[in-house]
Every structure is written in C-alpha cells, then in structure tokens.
Amino acid sequence: MLTGLSIRVLTAAVALAVVVPLAACSGATDPSVASVQDGRLTVDRPSAWSTPLPVDAPWKVGYRLAPDSVEQIQVSGDFGDYVSAAEAVGSLIGVAQVGLAGFTVVQTRDLEVKNATSAQAVRYTITDNHGSQVFGEWLVAVRWPEQQSVAVSLLTPRYDPDLEHQVVDSLRFSPA
C-alpha cells in the first residue's frame, strides 16, 4: 500500500519523466550550429563560422570561421535552371577545372533530399594560395521539371565527415 510520501515521490517521478523529454523537444537548439536561409534553401552551419564572406554568383551568401581562415560555407537558394543534380555538379566541375589550382574530384555520390528529384555530393581537393591541399564539398539538390536548384559549398583544411553529416542532415529544400 502506498503512503502519502510514496504517492508524492511517485507523482514527482512521473512528472519528471514527462516534462524532461518535452523540454528537450521544446525548441532547445544546439548553440554550436546556426541556421542559414536563402531562397529555397535552409541549412545549418557551425555557429563559429560567423564572419561574412564575400561571394560570387551563383553563390548568394557565405560565412567563414575568421577573416583569413580556410573554413567556409557558401549557399545558394536559387542555384540555377538545371534538370538534374548531375548537370548542376557538372557545371561546377567544369568551372573548377579551369579556375581552381590542383582541382581533383575525390568522390561523387547521390543524396536523398526531400522535395528534390535528384541530389548529389561532390568531394574534391584544391591547392590553396600557400601550396597546401584543402578539401571542398558541393551539395546540390534539383527539382525537375521546375528546374529549381539549391547548393551548398564547404571548404575545410581537411575532410570533416561530422561537418558533412551535419550539413547534409540539415539541408532543407522548399520548392516554389
């Protein structure tokens, strides 16, 4: 038989069992990530990468760790009129082969991105201005026949699979 004290302890335990998981789901965010939204694209970036980075088309916005750091992310929520991710990636590779020193594709793979008819990730290496090898990755998602596309570009001193997973898992494509 439960006593008054036992009932109060049991009630408190049940309340904690219900409230704690709800608090975890109530909009609590990870302070190590920040969301970037541009056009049809929403994606997470490391919150430490908060220094604005000037970008050239087709990129719309960019951030880096510090003014002189290699670590950077660029995004485009309206990447261009492509019928497939392979076509969009091919365009990026073509420009990179001409304009980026030491450009080498390391891996290309298909991705699953909600609302996209095709999506791909391309990992590559380039040589920076100091002669060091740095690692990049493009993530592209396309919706056909609307020919809407979004893209993310990452650059880091070495391949970072945790960063890759964070960005891929957070990528949201909202077609018009």
Q: Residue 59 maps to which CATH number? A: 3.40.1000.10
Region of residue 147 (left: phi > 0; alpha: psi -120 to 50; beta: else): left
The token pair at 130 is 């100091």
Confidence of residue 61 (pLDDT cuts 50, 70, 90): very high
- Whole-prediction pTM value? 0.82
The pLDDT value recorded for residue 19 is 36
Full residue range of the structural domain in which residue 59 is found:
32-173
- Does residue 15 sit in the same domain as residue 40? no
Token match 């049991």: residue?
10
- Does residue 14 sit in the same domain as residue 66? no
- Does residue 132 sit in the same domain as residue 77? yes
Q: How far apart are CA 103 and CA 124, in angstroms?
A: 7
Tally the domains of the chain: 2
Confidence of residue 30 (pLDDT cuts 50, 70, 90): confident
Mean pLDDT for 44-63 is: 96
- Does residue 49 sit in the same domain as residue 71? yes
Query: How many residues appear in the chain?
Result: 176
The pLDDT value recorded for residue 176 is 81
Is the confidence at residue 29, as pLDDT, over 80?
A: no
With a pLDDT cut of 90, the percent of the chain lying above it is 80
Name the residue among 96, 84, 74, 66 with its Cα closest to residue 142.
84
- The tens digit of pLDDT for each residue in 73-105 reads 999 999 999 999 999 999 999 999 999 999 999
Cis link prior to 145 (omega < 30° from 0)? yes
